[in-house]
Chains A and B, each alone.
Chain A
C-alpha cells in the first residue's frame, strides 16, 4: 500500500487516489507550428525509467485535486508531492 501526502489534505492511502501518468510530459504550444515528432512525444513516447519518476495522481476520493508525486518506480518510495500548478525544480 502506498501512502501519498496530498498537499491539500495530508497523508492518505493509495486507495483514495487514481493515477494520471508521467507529469513531465508537456503539451505542445498550440499557437506555434507543431511537428509530428512533437505530437508523438506528447501523446505516445515515454521515458518510463527505473528510479525517480514525476507523475500525476488525482485525489479522486478526497479533495479531487490533481497533484504531482515524485516516486521511485523500483522501491515505491515517495520523495515529494506538489500541487498541480507548482513548478518542480
Chain B
C-alpha cells in the first residue's frame, strides 16, 4: 500500500496525481472466508481492520448491500464524546476516545479529529445537580468533565440566548473538553483502505439474502452474488438489523427509527464547540466548511425511509432557535436522514448469539458514529476469541431478560421518546 505522506504527495505531483494506487480493490466474493462481516459501514470496516491488525485474521470479507460508508457513517453529525454516567458506557467510550486520538496516525489517513469540547446546557437547578452527578461519575472513570456556571458558559458561547425573558434560561452546563468531531467519511475510507491492504475483501453491491445455519451453527451466507461459506459471521447493519434477524428467526429488542440532521449555509467561524440544548433534544456544531451542523429528535415512528419528515425538523430547529436565536437567520443547505437501530434501553448490543459462530453488533441509537473504533475493536475481539471483552461484557443481548439494563437516559422501552 502506498503511504500517504508529504513526500508521496510531492512525488505524485510530477505525474499530475494520475498514478496514485486505488485506496481499496473491488474483488469478487471468494467461496469461503474465516470471517464474514455483514455491513460495510464504519463499524463493519473497523471490525475487519481490528480482526486483521489485532488478531491476525485476514481471510475476512465485508459484505455490503450498497457502497461502503453510504449508511449512517455518512449520515451523522460527526460528534465524538464519552460523557456517560454509567460505567459500561463511560469506560467503553473512553477506550474509544483513545483510539480516536491515535486514529489519523494509526490509519495513515487524516480523519480530522478535532477535540473541540462538548457542552451540555442545563436549564434548571435540578439539571445542574444531575450534571454535577454525571460529571463526578465521569471523573471517577477517568473522563474529563467540567461543571460550568452561567457566566463561564457565556464566556464560551456568548451567542446563546442569555437574555432574561426566555422560557429555558441557561443555568450552566457540563463540558467534556476532550470530546469533539471528526470527518465521518474519512473514518470509513481510512478503515477500508487499511483493511484492504491487510487482505480483507471489501465486496460492495452484494445483498445478503439468507443464512446457512444447521445444527445451531452458522456455515455461511447466501448473497445476491452467490453463496459464501464462513466459519464466523458478524452482523453490523445498524437500522437493517431487524431485516436480517427475521431471516435468522430472531426477534430482537431493537426498533428501526429515522433520525434526521441538517446543515445550514456556511458562515464565518462562530461556534468553537459542540453544544446541546438541555430542555429538549437539539445539538449543534460548526463544520470546518462553516456550516452549522444540527440534529435532534427521531421522527417518532418506526421508519426505514432514510429521509425525513418536516414536522420533526421544524420542532428540532425551534429548539435550536430558542437556544441560539441567530440560527433563525440562516438558510438551510441540506437535510438528510439515517435509520437507527434503537435498542430498548438506549445502549448497544455487542455479543454472541444462540447460533454458534454468529455475532451481533447493533442497538447504537443516537451514538453510533463516536463508537466506531471501540465497537470495531471489541467486536473483533468477540469474534476472534469467541468471547466478549470486559469492555463490551455489559452490552449483552440477554441483559433485557436478566434485568441488567444500561438505561443511561432513563427512557425505558419507548425508543422514540426523547
Using a CB–CB cutoff of 8 Å, the interface residues on chain A facing chain B are 1-2, 14-15, 18-19, 21-22, 36-37, 40-41, 43-50, 53, 55, 71, 73-76
Q: Do residues B311 and A14 form an inter-chain contact, with CB atoms below 8 A? A: yes
Q: Which residues of A contact B413 (CB under 8 A)?
A: 43-44
Interface of A: prevailing SS:
mixed
Q: Which residues of B contact A45 (CB under 8 A)?
A: 251-253, 400
Give the complex CA separation of A47 and B256 in angstroms: 9
- Give per-residue flags for B378-415: 1 if the beta carbon is below 8 A from chain A beta carbons, else 0: 00000000000000000000001100000000000110
Q: Which residues of B contact A1 (CB under 8 A)?
A: 309-311
User: Which residue of chain B is the closest to A74 with respect to CB atoms?
Assistant: B304
Q: From A2, A22, A46, A76, name the one whose CB has the most chain B CB atoms within 10 angstroms.
A: A46
Stretch binding the partner chain, chosen from B5-13, B35-43, B295-303: B295-303
Using a CB–CB cutoff of 8 Å, the interface residues on chain B facing chain A are 242-243, 246, 251-256, 300-305, 309-311, 344, 400-401, 413-414, 416
Give the complex CA separation of A48 and B82 in angstroms: 29
From B242, B251, B300, B401, give the contact of A19 (CB < 8 A): B300
Q: Which residues of B contact A19 (CB under 8 A)?
A: 300-301, 416
Supplied contacts A21-B414, A40-B401, 14 more A-B pairs, CB within 8 Å? A19-B416, A21-B302, A37-B401, A41-B251, A45-B253, A46-B251, A48-B242, A49-B242, A50-B242, A50-B256, A55-B302, A73-B303, A73-B305, A74-B305
Closest 4 CB pairs of A and B: A44-B253, A45-B251, A48-B255, A50-B304
Q: Do residues A53 and B302 form an inter-chain contact, with CB atoms below 8 A? A: yes
Q: Which residues of B contact A48 (CB under 8 A)?
A: 242, 254-256, 302
Give the complex CA separation of A50 and B252 in angstroms: 15
User: Which residue of chain A is the closest to B243 with respect to CB atoms?
Assistant: A50
Q: Do residues B242 and A47 form an inter-chain contact, with CB atoms below 8 A? A: yes
**B304 CB → nearest A CB, Å:** 4
Give the complex CA separation of A50 and B246 in angstroms: 11
**Can you give 14 A-B contacts (C-beta < 8 A)?**
A1-B311, A14-B309, A19-B301, A44-B253, A45-B251, A46-B242, A49-B242, A50-B304, A53-B302, A55-B302, A74-B304, A76-B303, A76-B305, A76-B309
Q: Which residues of A contact B344 (CB under 8 A)?
A: 43-44
